[in-house]
Amino acid sequence: MSEKKRQIGILLILIGTAIILYPAATLIYGNYYQNLLLEEVELISKSTPTVETIDTEQENMKKEFPLTVIIIPKIGLAQTVLDGISKDILAKGPGHHPSSVNPGEIGYCVVIGYCKSHSRPFGRLQELKNGDEIILKTTDTEFTYQIYSCEETKAMEKITLDKAQDKKLILTTCVPKYQESTRFVIKSILISSKKS
């Protein structure tokens, strides 16, 4: 009987250790993956010449999401934004909502990120206030947005997007940490753009 108790004890210790190490492992994986993506973006930015071509057939089609890095100086964030919002994509970093516009375009560019797992890109989003800046940097342009609204909404509520005549950015994540009952939404407007 004591041998069985010892085996159960060891099993419980292993399970407890796995539970404790899981958040650290996801953070390490997320940061490792983001570092690889940032290096790739930097290499592509240095090696890709900027060439503008106009294809009249493709003018009205949605453009492919460009390689983009989100930079929020106030909270020390610099991560590559991936195209899409599936769980697999968000496990690697913040994701661009495919039905939203690209950075610098008229309308809403929506970026979603985790605050509690993987690389935790939006873990400190609630520290931001009106007037703070968010930068979206593509391979050829740097877009600077200024925050004009920070609010919490119920997770099941849809984010209301008025018909934007301006170039806007929305960041969203679930809050508080380790719960998904509410969503923190930041709205910002483009204040400058410059070729890099």
Task: Provide the pLDDT for residue 123.
Answer: 84
The residue range of the domain holding 150 is 1-49+64-196
Task: Provide the pLDDT for residue 131.
Answer: 96
Name the CA dihedral angle for 195, 63, 94, 193, rounded to a multiple of 10 degrees. 20
Output the domain CATH number for residue 74: 2.40.260.10
Residue 59 lies in a domain: no
C-beta of residue 170 within 8 angstroms of C-beta of residue 186: yes
Cα–Cα dist 81/117, whole Å: 16
Task: Provide the pLDDT for residue 129.
Answer: 96
What is the amino acid identity at position 1? M
Task: Provide the pLDDT for residue 43.
Answer: 55
Residue 93 lies in a domain: yes
| Run of H or E including 150 | strand 141-154
Residue 169 lies in a domain: yes
- Backbone φ and ψ of 147, nearest 5°: -70, 135
Domains held by the chain: number: 1
Residue 56 lies in a domain: no
Residue 55 lies in a domain: no
Residue 58 lies in a domain: no
Q: Which residues contact 142 (CB under 8 A, 6 or more apart)?
A: 135, 136, 193, 194, 195, 196
Task: Provide the pLDDT for residue 87.
Answer: 85
Residue 81 lies in a domain: yes
Q: Where would I find the H helices in the chain?
A: 2-47, 87-90
Three-state SS for 85?
A: coil
The residue ranges of the chain whose pLDDT is under 70 are 1, 27, 29-62, 117-119, 155-162, 176-180
Nearest to 156 by CA among 181, 187, 184, 176: 181
C-beta of residue 138 within 8 angstroms of C-beta of residue 44: no
Rounded to whole angstroms, what are the CA distances from 141 to 45, 94, 112?
A: 10, 19, 21
Residue 9 lies in a domain: yes
Task: Provide the pLDDT for residue 41.
Answer: 54
Task: Provide the pLDDT for residue 141.
Answer: 94
